[in-house]
Amino acid sequence: MKKGLLIMALLSLLFGCKEKEPQPLTGEHHYSHDDTAPSVIVSENIESFCANYYNCALQCEEYNGFFRVTVMKNEDGQWELKEEKRGISVIVKEDFLQAVQMIVKENNLVKQNGVYSVTDGLPEEYQPCSVTVVYDSGEKLYFTVKNEPEGAWHQKLTELVMKQAE
């Protein structure tokens, strides 16, 4: 009995410590679309906002170009803007959300509503970016697509967030 346990422990150590083989980068494309996602959003009053993307202008060793920004009401009922990697956490006014809505509208982000379109194995700057906007009407804008590291809405949103963080 003890010999069997010893052999199992040795085998576990031998095979458990082995480095895992990297998964092959297949280049496979994955696409789906939520047919129930609205193609028009009537409301312009944002209740919460989250965007996760790569911005070439932010690329540096410390932050790696990735940017994840959220805006939602905190427990005190104030709008709180957060960007975790940079340690940004500030209270913003409603005009900040109006500016975010202008970026959404000017860049016609609703055209991607409900889309999931990603390709395996792309460089980090083209890894998926995602946006989720919840409106006071209950409408929701959400998508996950291949990142455009120099995309116009990325730049505008980044500038807006960094201005608030000053």
pTM of the prediction? 0.81
What are the pLDDT digits (tens) for 71-125?
Answer: 999 999 999 999 987 888 999 999 999 999 999 999 999 999 999 999 988 888 8
How high is the pLDDT of residue 21?
47
For the chain, which residues make up each domain, given as ranges? 27-165
How high is the pLDDT of residue 149?
79
What are the pLDDT digits (tens) for 53-62?
Answer: 988 766 555 5
How high is the pLDDT of residue 13?
38
Nearest to 94, CA basis, from 73, 70, 69: 73
